Amino acid sequence: MFTRRLMLGAAASGLALPAYAQNRGNPIRVACAGPMTGSNAAAGDQMKIGAQQAVADLNARGGVLGRQLALSIEDDACDPRQAVSVANKLAGQRVAMVAGHYCSGSSIPASAVYREEGVLQISPASTNPKYTDEGGWNTFRVCGRDDQQGQVAGAYIARVFKEKRVAVLHDNSAYGKGLADETKKAMNAAGKQESIYSAYTPGERDYSAIVSRLKQERVEVIYVGGYYTEAGLIIRQAKEQGLNATLIGGDALVTNEFWSITGAAGEGSLMTFSSDPRKRATAASVVQGFRARNVDPEGYVLYTYGAMQIWAAAAAKAQSVDARKVADTLKRQGPWNSVLGSTAFTPKGDVTVPDYVFYVWRNGTYAEM
Amino acid sequence: MAYALQQLINGVSLGMIYGLIAVGYTMVYGIIGMINFAHGDVFMVGAFVSLITVLLLGIGGGAAGPGALLLVLLAAMAVTALYGWTVERVAYRPLRGSFRLAPLISAIGMSILLQNYVQVAQGARVKPTGTLVPGGVTLMQSEGFNVQFSYVQMLICVVTLGVLAGFTLLVTRTPLGRAMRACEQDRKMAALLGIDTDRIISLTFVIGAALAAVAGCMYLLRYGVIDFYIGFLAGVKAFTAAVLGGIGSLPGAVLGGLLIGLIETFWSAYFSAQYKDVAAFSILILTLVFMPTGLLGRQEVEKV
């Protein structure tokens, strides 16, 4: 009896404590959630660095609405189930906003939890259109969408490879097929028809049959909606079969592992990715701060930093950290200045200006074209 | 015509690798009547040992000489054979004489163990090498289509046929082969006649693992990219090949492997690539409906 009462008491105080923390002048709790372990841990690490620095910088300038920020870091390992339990945990801590997650497959299920619990979510990296299309009032992202990416790729192919024969391949995944279809749509709209449109099975190693088919169709450009392993194998096997085609892919190819698979066969491969925020004037001082500490703010560091900054600016304008009020302010007002430049949001929570540019692989490294 | 020839080359070199793995399934089934589900992962171990040897020899960057490749092949066969022996000793022998499902479950357990062990020890990321056997010959040219027969595809065909020929000689012409066939027909009777059946079964696993290592090595040379998970898909395909050819039959396993490779390739060549597995498995089902023992399988005779 005694233990039961004790437990009830503990539970009650556990519930009451966060509310108390929010209402008095205590710190505002914010969070960063992403893959801190697992095969995407490199990206999670970037997010963590960005979030920590953003919170430190904001606190140094007096915090938000006169209150300091406290940061929680959570690991979802890019696993949708773990993402949901992380979301529940953060909701239990009554965080005001979450900068995360990384994988679309994590961001989408987590956003439903955040919506019910009244938490604002800004993803620095999840590009699947569903995230904001099917998400609620609380979902935002500071990166592009796969359909925007497809428009950029499709228009480019139609313009630059007008006279060439183009193949569009995809791996049937939500990301790959979505991206390939958007690219095809944009390309067709610009008056360019593909010679062949086909799916391949991801996870295999032998793509020689498809490659021979491309060779038969005398394809000169291969657009792949899919991840780097399969895309790398396809171009490698194409070169081995004597098919000299140019590979074009999406942001999933922006990893050094692509080159370690293709070797010299990857030379000249193109991909779409957000323009490098490190080069923007608005980020100069922050980038300098990172470099002074021997940290290269690559990949998603600045995207996470920017997500925090934008939220802080909107909260200051809304005079509240209430998620609904901040979400409303984010969408109606703006543009918001951050390291990412000037960002405004659509009613769905996407950025208004899709910011995709082409990168090219040369000698084992990639650079903006 | 040229196109079909190119796809034939693609299909045969893929089917050869399936066939090599399928031989391991069919041998073990022939002798102790169980499906060694860990065999696909033994193949994966073979590929990893090949890769490690390649890196130790420092030839991962580009073309490798024939001596180095032979060394890689032999190292892979030796180490993987040891794995095969250990798997049998640890997971199957203690369960011999237990009920039929027990070794099957321990085989699945062994498969998961090997997969996770390699994942933890070697990391989950894909492991690439450079093109170790570059180049090839152009067989024919028509209407701007070059039929390319790469040296690595030739190597796969030659090595596979050579290994299988040697293996067939071993089974049909040596005392060891005779003992293996005796165990296959009637293990108890073979034991009564003085054959050390445990030793024969161990050797069967060792030989099967060595063949899987050859497949793993060829796979690495051909595709240059491996990870801890390749054993699953290759294992399923090879097992299918063994069943299609008639499980327990050695020529059947090779025939089945070639057929699966060719069906997959030609289906992707002329129809939709995403349905190639559907096509391969539909043909398997149809074959089994009309020929329940597979293409070259023998009818089991009920012993009374």
Nearest to B128 among A198, A203, A260 (CB): A260
Indicate if the pLDDT at residue A365 is higher than 70. Answer: yes
From residue A90, how far is each of A28, A85, A320, A321 by CA, in Å?
13, 9, 19, 16
Cβ–Cβ below 8 Å for B131 and A263: yes
**Tokens linked to B123:** 């990391």
Contacts with B14 from chain A: Cβ below 8 Å = 206, 208
Nearest to B213 by CA among B69, B81, B28, B53: B81
**Mean local confidence (pLDDT), B249-265:** 93
Neighbours of A25 (CB within 10 A): 9
Residue of A nearest to B271 (CA): A198
pLDDT at A39: 60
Q: What angle do CA B43, B135, A241 make, to 5 degrees?
A: 80
CA distance B71 to B69: 5
CA distance B243 to B231: 18
pLDDT at A23: 46
- Give the predicted TM-score (pTM) of the model: 0.80
**Mean local confidence (pLDDT), B237-259:** 92
Nearest to A212 among B7, B131, B223 (CB): B7
Tell me if B95 sits within 8 A of B102, measured CB to CB. Answer: yes
Percentage of the residues of chain A whose pLDDT score is greater than 70: 92
Contacts with B148 from chain A: Cβ below 8 Å = 240-242
Spell out a b/e string for B232-264, using b for 16 or more CB atoms within 10 Å of the CB, else e.
bebbebbbbbbbbbbbbbbbbbbbbbbbbbbbb
Q: Looking at the complex, does the CB of residue A37 fall below 8 Å from at least one CB of chain B? A: no
Phi-psi region of B94 (alpha: psi -120 to 50; beta: other; left: phi over 0): alpha
Window A:197-236, CB contacts with B under 8 Å:
198-201, 203-206, 208-210, 212-213, 215-216, 218, 229, 232-233, 236
Hey, which CATH number is domain A147-274, 3.40.50.2300, 3.40.47.10, 3.10.129.10, 3.40.309.10?
3.40.50.2300
For residue A5, what pLDDT band results from cuts at 50, 70 and 90?
low
Tell me if A80 sits within 8 A of A151, measured CB to CB. Answer: no
Cβ–Cβ below 8 Å for A213 and B136: no
What confidence tens digit (pLDDT) does each residue in B68-94 have?
999 999 999 999 999 999 999 999 999
Q: For chain A, give every domain's residue range.
A: 2-141+278-343, 147-274
**Mean local confidence (pLDDT), B128-151:** 86
pLDDT at A226: 86
Indicate if the pLDDT at residue A343 is higher than 80. Answer: yes
Q: Residues near A98 by Cβ (< 8 Å), separated by ≥ 6?
A: A30, A31, A32, A33, A87, A90, A110, A114, A119, A120, A121, A122
Element (H, E) at A337: strand A336-338
Indicate if the pLDDT at residue B301 is higher than 70. Answer: no
Contacts with A240 from chain B: Cβ below 8 Å = 131, 136, 148, 150
Contacts with A212 from chain B: Cβ below 8 Å = 3, 6-7, 10, 269
DSSP lists the bridge partners of residue B141 as B146
For residue B139, what pLDDT band results from cuts at 50, 70 and 90?
confident
Tell me if B261 sits within 8 A of B14, measured CB to CB. Answer: yes
Sign of the alpha-carbon torsion through B181, B186, B187, B188 = negative
pLDDT at B289: 92
Q: Is residue B204, in this structure, part of any structural domain at all? A: yes
Contacts with A236 from chain B: Cβ below 8 Å = 131, 224
What confidence tens digit (pLDDT) does each residue in A135-157 have?
889 999 998 888 888 999 999 99
Q: How many domains does chain B have?
A: 1
Distance between A362 CA and the closest CA of chain B, angstroms: 17
Cβ–Cβ below 8 Å for A205 and B230: yes
Angle between helices B101-122 and B39-57 (to 10 degrees): 30
Phi, psi of A354 (to 5 degrees): -65, 135
CA distance A239 to A261: 13
Q: Is residue B267, in this structure, part of any structural domain at all? A: no
Angle between helices B230-245 and B250-270 (to 10 degrees): 110
Nearest to A199 among B10, B264, B274 (CB): B274
Strands (E), chain B: 127-128, 136-142, 145-150, 225-226
- Measure CA B220 to chain center: 13
What confidence tens digit (pLDDT) does each residue in A87-128 have?
999 999 999 999 989 888 899 999 999 999 999 999 998 888
Cβ–Cβ below 8 Å for A233 and B225: yes
Q: Looking at the complex, does the CB of residue B60 fall below 8 Å from at least one CB of chain A? A: no
CA distance B163 to B169: 10
Residue of A nearest to B7 (CA): A209
Q: Looking at the complex, does the CB of residue B143 fall below 8 Å from at least one CB of chain A? A: no
Contacts with A234 from chain B: Cβ below 8 Å = none
Average pLDDT, chain A: 87
**Mean local confidence (pLDDT), B216-226:** 93
Distance between B269 CA and the closest CA of chain A, angstroms: 6
**Tokens linked to B111:** 């498969």
Distance between A203 CA and the closest CA of chain B, angstroms: 8
Window B:14-53, CB contacts with A under 8 Å:
14
Indicate if the pLDDT at residue A17 is higher than 80. Answer: no
CA distance A233 to A210: 11
CA distance B17 to A71: 53
Determine the residue type at A7.
Answer: M
**Mean local confidence (pLDDT), B198-217:** 94
ipTM value > 0.95: no
**Mean local confidence (pLDDT), A63-82:** 91
A2-141+278-343 under CATH 3.40.50.2300, yes or no: yes
Cβ–Cβ below 8 Å for B269 and A212: yes
Q: Which range has the top average pLDDT, A194-203, A302-311, B52-61?
A: A302-311
Nearest to A184 by CA among A217, A151, A160: A151
DSSP label at B203? H
Phi-psi region of A58 (alpha: psi -120 to 50; beta: other; left: phi over 0): alpha
pLDDT at B23: 93
Are both A2-141+278-343 and A147-274 of the same fold?
Answer: yes
What confidence tens digit (pLDDT) does each residue in B27-68 have?
999 888 888 999 999 999 999 999 999 999 988 777 778 889
What confidence tens digit (pLDDT) does each residue in B18-32 have?
999 999 999 999 888
